[in-house]
Amino acid sequence: MKVKEYIKYYIIRSITFCFLLLSLSSCVEEATFSNTPQGNFEELWKIIDEQYCFLDYKEIDWDAIHTKYQKRISADMTNEGLFEVLGDMLTELKDGHVNLYSANNVARYWKWYEDYPMNFNDSIQRNYLGNDYRIAAGIKYKILKDNIGYIYYESFSDGIGSGNLDEVLSYMAICDGLIIDVRNNGGGTITNASKLAERFTNEKVLTGYICHKTGTGHNDFSEPYPIYLEPSNSIRWQKKVVVLTNRRSFSATNDFVNSMRILPLVTIMGDKTGGGSGLPFTSELPNGWNVRYSSSPHFAADMSQIEWGIDPDIKVDITTSDFNKGIDTIIERARTFLKE
Amino acid sequence: MKKITALIIILIGLSGTISAQCDSLQANRYVTRSTTYGVGYTNILDTYLSPQEYTGIEGRVARETIRMTKLFNGHISLQNFFQANLSYTHNHTEDNNTFAGLVNWNYGLHYQFRINENLKLLAGGLSDMNGGFVYNLRNSNNPASAKVYVNIAASGMAIYRFKIKNYQMVARYQANVPVVGVMFSPNYGQSYYEIFTLGNSDGVVKFTTLKSQPSVRQMFSLDFPICYSKLRFSYLWDIQQSKVNQLKTHTYSHIFMVGFVKDLYLMKSKRGNPLPENVRAY
């Protein structure tokens, strides 16, 4: 009987204690700002301050940026004016993964390729692909006249299946070498890039590291976590490969190049990649505008930053004289290299 | 004709059997089972997806069984409560939406304090299992947030029986508070790609307490007879909150539900089914 009374007492006390604690604990809310020019400015500044991953690496004084752009905020400014100011503030980050989206515009930073030679022209590319090229999912491919295989992967947003890659590589098996052209490939899904890269290694290789933010501080990062490229258990390429790059090889394509450059039979040729090593996240302002920002940095295998791009093994630009003749200097250089 | 006559005789005999059993009916075999459907308002915050709150409509279905056990001289009841909800919510400016869903299963025991003939107070504990998602239609590499958490919850209930004219009504208030548990949560700025594709799962499963998960599910229900059935109206005030890995989440739901209640009597098949196999539905 005593035990039963004790249990009753214990149960009642425990539940009373729980409800008391619960009543004392506050609601879980996020402090947000009002939907005013000032409120939207503060929210955007705070999102970048707490969640953007390259503030210290790029040596950006974000507090000073607040002071600088605060002067341009007024209560009666138009949406267009506010968008311009906030867009300008974001360009200070010099990051192609940073955008502000409103219903009628996208603020962006594209100087990472706008200030450089294009080194790619799709009209000239047609001189090589012709009209009889083959298409497998997101890949266009053809065997060139000198028995060099040419693959063009325009966007890693376009999915590619294992069966597609088996077909492409089987078709190319007779070739003396392979060109993988990822110029103007602005990225997409990293797993598509990895799916392609794993066809060119026979062993598991360390390709880089990834970190994520663990808190709101500029240096609150997790321990670097290794990223490995594992060999495909299907058809793997065993001959020389040249990967063609230009400044518009960005984001997931930057990661693809970072993986491929480690492999012994692979040579990177063309221009420096555009970079974009931060995995982008999305957030939102009180007025509904979306903001995209780099959240999670990728590093090279030696822990060096690849945010600003990856240098090619062999630097080649399309020359003006070749351009005028409809010749792609970079493809030609790759063909020569593979025939050597 | 002979078969129909035989069936009638069997059914008459069966009714007699059931009547004859009344004296020996066991309380632990009475089961009160309800299925209710509801709709209401919900407010969702998940800072992994957005610092803004999303509000909108939620639909919910709930199924509950409750019965006495033989434990503590028949003072312990067993509750089995399953619910699932789906919501469609919008931001303040109504230019983005989220879908969210959660499946919740509570299973546990209450000690029943019979205050008088009409009032019972129940206190006990429940296992509280949850799985769901919040999906933001506009986000890039953080498009969704998975909800997986398991708790031991303290639970209190008050059941009051009363009559209005000849109608027997039952009012019930219940509140469940998770005390300790385990929750899945990505780290502050961590992508699901890093967790599931690359395999970095460090710190994504965290112990929770009242401080990090100050949640409560409250329900008020009213049962009353309609013809030969029992109807249930209920109001759910469901507060699910968490502060884990510096990410904040909440879901505040106000749901009005309606459904039917059935009182069933369980028969043990090992003693033989009273209905012959050739006339049973299954």
Q: Tens of pLDDT along B5-48?
A: 444 443 333 333 343 344 456 888 899 999 999 999 999 999 99
**A148 and A72 in one domain?**
no
Q: Do A272 and A182 sit in the same domain of this protein? A: yes
Residue A266 located in a structural domain:
yes
Domains observed in chain B: 2-267 (2.40.128.100)
Percent of chain B with pLDDT strictly greater than 90: 79
User: Is B56 in contact with B282 (CB distance < 8 Å)?
Assistant: no
B280 pLDDT tier (thresholds 50, 70, 90): confident
A32: contact with B, CB 8 A cutoff:
yes
B40 in Cβ contact with B253 (< 8 Å) = yes
Of B129, B211, B130, the C-alpha closest to A18 is: B211
Which chain B residues in 127-166 lie under 8 Å from chain A, judged by CB atoms? Answer: 136, 138-142, 154-156
**B190 to A18: CB separation less than 8 angstroms, yes or no:** no
Helix H, strand E, coil C: the string for chain A is CHHHHHHHHHHHHHHHHHHHHHHHCCCCCCCCCCCCHHHHHHHHHHHHHHHCCCCCCCCCCHHHHHHHHHCCCCCCCCHHHHHHHHHHHHHCCCCCCCEEECCCCEECCCHHHHCCCCCCCHHHHHHHHCCCCEEECCEEEEECCCCEEEEEECCECCCCCHHHHHHHHHHHHHCCEEEEECCCCCCECHHHHHHHHHHHCCCCEEEEEECCECCCCCCCECCCEEEEECCCCCCCCCCCEEEEECCCCECHHHHHHHHHCCCCCEEEEECCCCECCEEEEEEECCCCCEEEEEEEEEEECCCCECCCCCCCCEECCCCHHHHHHCCCHHHHHHHHHHHC
Task: Tell me whether residue A145 is in a domain.
Answer: yes
> From B137, which residue of chain A is nearest by alpha-carbon distance?
A282
Residue A240 within a domain: yes
Q: Cα(B70)–Cα(B98) distance, rounded to whole angstroms?
A: 46
Q: CB of A176 within 8 A of CB of A337?
A: no
Question: In terms of DSSP bridges, do strands B216-226 and B167-184 run parallel, antiparallel, or are they unpaired?
Answer: antiparallel
Angle at B130 between CA B31 and CA B58, to 5 degrees: 85
Same domain, A175 and A91: no
Amino acid at B70: K
Residues in chain A with CB shorter than 8 Å from the CB of B253 are none
Chain B from 253 to 282: CB within 8 A of any A CB: none
Residue B109 dihedral angles phi and psi, to the nearest 5°: -120, 150
Cα dihedral A225, A231, A234, A236 sign? positive
* β-strand partners of A99: A292
Q: Under an 8 A CB cutoff, do A284 and B51 touch?
A: yes
Residue with tokens 């070749």: A322
CB contact under 8 A, B111 and A14: no
**Listed ranges A107-116, B78-87, B165-174; the one with the highest mean pLDDT:** B78-87
Cβ contact B72–A220 (<8 Å): no
The last residue of one of the domains, among A60, A81, A111, is A111
Separation in Å, CA of B179 to nearest CA in chain A = 7
Measure the N-to-C terminal CA separation of chain B; round to a whole number of Å: 23
Domain containing A294 equals 122-339
pLDDT confidence of residue A151? 98
Residues from chain B contacting residue A55 (CB–CB below 8 Å): none
Q: How far is B98 from chain A (nearest CA, A)?
A: 13
CATH number of the domain at A56, please: 3.30.750.44
> A304 lies in a domain?
yes
End-to-end CA distance of chain A: 94
pLDDT of residue B281: 78
* A102 and A240 part of one domain: no
Task: Indicate the helix (H) or strand (E) that contains B7.
Answer: helix B2-21
Q: How many CB atoms lie within 10 A of CB A299?
A: 20
Taking only Cα atoms into account, the Rg of chain B, rounded to an integer number of angstroms, comes to 23
Name the minimum distance, in Å, from the CA of A73 to any CA of chain B: 21
Same-domain pairing of A102 and A137? no
Once rounded to an integer, what is the mean pLDDT over residues B134-163?
96
Furthest C-alpha separation in chain B: 76
Binned at pLDDT 50, 70 and 90, residue B276 comes out as confident
Residue A318 and residue A189 share a domain: yes
Nearest to A30 among B51, B72, B92 (CB): B51
Residue B189's region, left for phi above 0, alpha for psi from -120 to 50, else beta, is alpha
Task: Establish, for the pair of chains A and B, how many residue pairs have beta carbons separated by less than 8 Å.
Answer: 143
Query: To the nearest whole angstrom, how far is the Cα of B204 from the nearest Cα of chain A?
Result: 11
Contact residues on chain B for A29, CB-CB shorter than 8 A: 45, 248, 250
What's the CA gap between B154 and A326, in Å, rounded? 76
The verdict on A150 and A94 lying in the same domain is: no
Q: Please indicate, yes or no, whether residues A283 and A232 belong to a single structural domain of this protein.
A: yes
Mutation to test the B interface, candidates A54, A282, A299, most B Cβ within 10 Å: A282
Q: Can you tell me the distance from the alpha carbon of A298 to that of A252, in angstroms, rounded to the nearest whole number?
A: 10
Instruction: Specify the higher pLDDT residue, B268 or B147.
Output: B147
Question: A336 in contact with B at a CB cutoff of 8 Å?
Answer: no
Look at residue B9 in the predicted model and tell me its pLDDT. Answer: 42
Across the interface, whether the CB atoms of A29 and B96 are under 8 A apart is answered no
Whether residue A150 is contained in a domain is answered as: yes
What is the pLDDT, as a whole number, of residue B227? 84
Contacts of B156 in chain A (CB under 8 A): 15, 19
Q: Phi/psi zone of residue B15: left (φ > 0), alpha (ψ -120 to 50 degrees), beta?
A: alpha
Task: Give contacts of A292 with chain B, Cβ < 8 Å.
Answer: 140
The residues facing B161 across adjacent strands are B170
How far lies A110's CA from each of A74, A98, A186, B138, B258, in Å? Answer: 28, 10, 11, 22, 56
Q: What's the rounded Cα separation, in Å, for the pair A110 and B8?
A: 86
Nearest-CA distance A304 → chain B (Å):
19
Q: Which pLDDT does position B7 carry in this prediction?
A: 41
CATH number at residue A169: 3.90.226.10
User: Any CB–CB contact under 8 A between A202 and chain B?
Assistant: no
Contact: B188, A220; criterion CB under 8 Å? yes
Q: Is B47 on the interface with A (CB under 8 A)?
A: yes
The DSSP output letter for A27 is P
A102 and A158 housed in the same domain: no
In terms of Cβ atoms closer than 10 Å to its own Cβ (0-12, 13-18, 19+), residue B271 is: exposed
Overall average pLDDT of the B132-150 stretch: 96
- Angle between the A37-51 and A79-91 helix axes, to the nearest 10 degrees? 20
Q: H or E stretch including A333? A: helix A329-339
| Tokens 């009841």 -> residue | B77
Angle formed by the axes of helices A162-171 and A190-197, nearest 10°: 40
- Put simply, whether A20 touches B (Cβ < 8 Å) is no
Contact A34, A286 (CB under 8 A): yes
**Same domain, residue pair A198 and A61:** no
In the prediction, which pLDDT does A17 show?
Answer: 59
What pLDDT is attached to residue B23?
43
In a domain, residue A18? The reply is no
Q: Enumerate the residues of chain A whose CB falls inside 8 A of the CB of residue B113.
A: 8
In terms of CA atoms, which chain A residue is nearest residue B44? A29
In this structure, are residues A268 and A312 in contact, taking their beta carbons and an 8 Å threshold?
yes
Give pLDDT tens digits for B96-110. 999 999 999 999 999
Same domain, A73 and A147: no
Rounded CA-CA distance B92/B87 in Å is 16
* Cross-chain Cβ contact B140/A11 below 8 Å: no
Q: Which SS3 state, helix, strand or coil, does residue B49 take?
A: coil
Query: Do A75 and A164 have their domain in common?
Result: no
**pLDDT tens-place values along chain A, 340 residues long:** 455 566 566 666 656 655 555 555 578 888 889 999 999 999 999 999 999 999 999 999 999 999 999 999 999 999 999 999 999 999 999 999 999 999 999 999 999 899 999 999 999 999 999 999 999 999 999 999 999 999 999 999 999 999 999 999 999 999 999 999 999 999 999 999 999 999 999 999 999 999 999 999 999 999 999 999 999 999 999 999 999 999 999 999 999 999 999 999 999 999 999 999 999 999 999 999 999 999 999 999 999 999 999 999 999 999 999 999 999 999 999 999 999 8
Q: Which A residues, 114 through 173, put their C-beta within 8 Å of a C-beta on chain B?
A: none
Closest alpha carbon within chain A to B188: A214
Give how far Cα A38 sits from Cα of A66, A76, A258, Å.
11, 10, 41
pLDDT of residue A29: 86
Average pLDDT over all residues of chain B: 90
Nearest CA in chain A to B112: A8
Q: What is the mean pLDDT of residues B226-244?
A: 94
Rounded CA separation B210/A22 (Å): 7
Q: What is the ipTM of this complex?
A: 0.90
In this complex, which of A19, A29, A32 lies closest to B177 when CB atoms are compared?
A19
Does residue A168 form part of some domain? yes
Q: Domain count for chain A, please give it.
A: 2
In a domain, A27, yes or no: no
Residue where a domain stops, chosen among A59, A92, A111:
A111
Q: For A209, phi and psi rounded to 5 degrees?
A: -140, 160
